[in-house]
Structure 1
Amino acid sequence: MGDFDITEKIIGEAIYVHRSLGPGLLESTYQNCLYHRLITTGLKVEKEKPLPVYFDGLYLECGYRLDLVVEDQVVLELKSVKKLKEIHKAQLITYLKLSGYKIGLLMNFNVLKLVNGLIRLKN
């Protein structure tokens, strides 16, 4: 399955979750529901995957977690905020660099239409 196919499938499931629940809930609610939907479709998904920081030749556990990682390829950073900010994009770019994954999806579920709160980034 190619990058585009995976992200298309993820976005479709995220839209389903958003339409079913609506905006205004906690990020963890969307994370758990999207995780359920993605594993139900047969995708390999890791939730709250630890992300150590490589510094001075060491991997240091600093408490960072990737919300969802799909098929060892796509990092999902989920938000439920009034408006996405540049710092949210910067955070995902940093996560991609630290993890070595190439594609990230930033999703803000606190919008009327999920497509208005969706950003696809490449490392």
Structure 2
Amino acid sequence: MPEGLIRGDLTDRIIHGFYHVYNSLGYGFLEKVYENSLGITLSKSGCTVKQQWPIAVMFEEEIVGEYFADLLVNESVIIEVKAAESIAKEHEAQLVNYLKATGYQVGLILNFGPKAEFRRKVFSH
């Protein structure tokens, strides 16, 4: 892990859990199966996990929309679970918007597609 990586220890633990779930279940399930399995894995490793965590989007001090992050881990890292062919720019933009809307700095996209892959995003407010 590079020195000074924001939430590096936690994201390493999450990525380890991601590969554990991927190697156990393989490819082909719906995102919800992976989300549930990852939630169980991270909880068993001592993390606090909230599933389908609500995110309010504000505009001029009014709520204009609400989204749900797949997982929030230890009140500090947002996780988006995908089961797509690959991670798309739209997935990355979605995660960055979640970070902007919440004030959290770090997020992960975990793709349980044909090839296990992840992206780590950091947003400074």
TM-score computed with the length of structure 2 as normaliser: 0.89
Structure 1 residue 24, shift from structure 2 partner: 1.2
2:11 matched to 1:7?
yes
Amino acid in structure 2 at the alignment position of 1:5 = D
1:52 is paired with a residue whose SS is strand
2:88 matched to 1:67?
no
* Residue matched to 1:120: 120
Aligned residues: 118
Correspondences of 1:1-123 after superposition (within 5 Å): 3-60=7-64, 62-112=65-115, 114=116, 117-123=117-123
What is the alpha-carbon distance in structure 2 between the residues aligned to residue 70 and residue 104 of structure 1? 10
Q: Deviating runs (4+, > 4 A) in structure 1? A: none
What is the alpha-carbon distance in structure 2 between the residues aligned to residue 103 and residue 110 of structure 1? 22
What is the alpha-carbon distance in structure 2 between the residues aligned to residue 35 and residue 58 of structure 1? 32
Q: Identity of counterpart residues, as a percentage? A: 35
Higher percent of residues as helix: 1
The superposition leaves residues 86-105 of structure 1 with CA deviations (integer Å, 9 ceiling, x where unpaired) of 11111111111001110010
What is the alpha-carbon distance in structure 2 between the residues aligned to residue 5 and residue 39 of structure 1? 16
Cα-Cα RMSD: 1.2
Report if aligned partners of 2:54, 2:68 keep a CA contact under 8 Å in 1: yes
- Long gaps (5+) in structure 1: none
Structure 1 residue 41, shift from structure 2 partner: 1.2
The superposition leaves residues 27-58 of structure 1 with CA deviations (integer Å, 9 ceiling, x where unpaired) of 00000000011111111111000111111212
TM-score computed with the length of structure 1 as normaliser: 0.91
Structure 1 residue 111, shift from structure 2 partner: 2.5
